[in-house]
Amino acid sequence: MTCVSKEEYLSIIQSLIVSVSGLLPESIWDTVSASINESCDEIRHEIIQHFEGQPWVGIYQPVLEKFVRHCVDWVRAFFFPLRHSQRVALGIHGVYLLFIDDSVADSSKRRHMRRFLSLFGDGTNHPGDETPEVHMLFSFVEFSRTMAEVYGPYVKASFYRGTIDYIQSVVVGEHLVSIGSKTPVGATKFPWNHRRRDAAAETWTHVFFVSENDLGYIPEASYVEHDVVFYMCAVNDVCSYWKEQSGDEWNYVTAQAEAQNRSVRDMLWDTVNEIRLTVERLTRIDLSYPELQHRILMCLATLLVMSVCGSRYGLRNMLHAVGDDPQHVQKMFDLWSR
């Protein structure tokens, strides 16, 4: 079977960006394009700087640090400008930030995510405070201690009265939420549609930062009112959606295509279309506060583009596709930051 060429693969990725941008009203896209280009320029500079003379692992930490800072800014831009009365009217009482990435079980990543959380404060809503509550959830391959032990004051023990150990369950309030599994002993699939159901019947907005190969694990039922999904690793989803633990991701995708008697191109386009349909669903959210929808789309567009330009997996997979020459990397970013 003939593998997809590098040029065709790049064309598929570029089409993903075009399909996403084409779904946004022109006025909104014009507004975010300057921010996107500025962010691309900054990250491109960092990547080129750290790439020269270093193996791939030398790029990862600086890029992650930069990307996380951008994410914090975008989340703040989306939620914090809303007045308390506007959030209440929309049913938004807080937000869960879900990082679906099994490698956060690594101790260095836990420290990094704790720093991320600290940027939002201690996660509590003080009387008269205009800041919405922010909580973080993670999925893990192996995690034998309670989240409260590891994440300290940033994750409330009362919210997570349970222990995640391989494939178990977590208690949210008084409601049991089960955690499924993609593989017998592999990554856990976090429950997408759980709510904090207390006497006040609060509605929580979910912001899904989806990484690894979790695309497709978000069921249609999870798209309830005011839910927002941000795909942080769109390229990774496209390139290594079927990766699992294979060392050579591209060869693994090729092998999966052969096993299913399909072309790699068809499998890639299926994933691109899933992302496109998700964006279409989000653009149809009926919100009584129009500015909120604009913020959703602006953040979504920015994060989608940045996911291609800045994510660890996205860049690594593109380096596989275009080669390890820094000039190729430069051309890749020039293409996406026009």
At 332 the pLDDT is 38
At 321 the pLDDT is 37
Buried/exposed 195-227: b ≥16 CB within 10 Å, e otherwise = bbeeeeebbbbbbbbbbbbbbebbeeeebeebb
At 209 the pLDDT is 35
- For the chain, the domains span 6-336
For the chain, 338 residues long, the average pLDDT of each consecutive 10-residue run is 40 44 43 47 49 40 46 45 46 42 43 45 41 40 32 30 22 25 27 31 32 33 30 33 38 62 59 48 43 41 38 35 40 38
CA distances from 81 to 107, 116, 117, 273 (A): 34, 20, 19, 33
At 45 the pLDDT is 54
Closest CA to 101 of 141, 147, 151: 141
Closest CA to 19 of 303, 306, 279: 279
What CA–CA distance (Å, rounded) separates 253 from 265? 10
Question: Contacts from 158-162 at CB under 8 Å and sequence distance 24+?
Answer: 159/135, 159/196
At 213 the pLDDT is 34
At 86 the pLDDT is 45
At 259 the pLDDT is 72
Which phi-psi region, left, alpha or beta, contains residue 115 (left: φ > 0; alpha: ψ -120 to 50)? Answer: alpha
At 201 the pLDDT is 28
Helix axes 312-322, 326-336, angle to 10 degrees: 120
What CA–CA distance (Å, rounded) separates 279 from 136? 23
pTM of whole model > 0.95? Answer: no
**Bridge partners (DSSP) listed for residue 177:** 170
> What is the phi/psi pair of residue 210, to 5°?
-100, 125
